[in-house]
Amino acid sequence: MENTERGRIVVGIDGSAQSISALRYAASLADSLGHDLVAFSSWLPRVALEDYTPDWAPEQDARDALEKSIVQAFGDALPKNLEREVLMGPAAPNLIEVSKGAVMVVLGTRGRGGFKGLVMGSVSSSLAAHAKCPVLIHHGEEPAA
């Protein structure tokens, strides 16, 4: 029986090698299952006590980093069903909210903030416990051809 309703497979991207590998894997899943692929990132606003840099734009930095990750994952061969979503706020709560409208959330095992030897990062752990859809924690294996 063929799936006639397109859903959204959301991939949390933080620029880490694990998240880029998860994006490639999710693209393969989205293509196979007939769903849209959403590359998702979050950003946090400036904190008042930080050093002031007048030309720093955290939202634009997040969008630029997301684009860089997409290029690293696919080069010029972008998936035709690729969407981008960037929201303000912490990654885990944002992804939990986005999971309400997704058929699946895909994450790497740990991101940029991971400690060496940590099996699963805090965002992955939060999503595995609280997402409103299935969560796939990708361990870095590339999809079969």
pLDDT confidence of residue 114: 42
For residue 37 the two structure tokens come to 């692929």
Dist CA 57 CA 32 (whole Å): 37
Q: Which domain holds residue 95?
A: 18-46+54-112+124-138
Query: Which tokens hold the place of 137?
Result: 């924690």
Report the CATH number that the domain containing residue 134 is assigned in CATH. Answer: 3.40.50.620
Is the model's pLDDT at 131 over the cut of 90?
yes
Which tokens is 73 given? 């994952």
Q: Is 13 part of any domain? A: no
Per-residue pLDDT tens digits for 38-97 = 999 999 886 665 566 677 788 999 999 999 999 999 999 999 899 999 999 999 999 999
Residue with the bigger pLDDT between 105 and 123: it is: 105
In a domain, 77, yes or no: yes
Domains held by the chain: number: 1
Residue 2 belongs to a domain: no
In a domain, residue 119? The reply is no
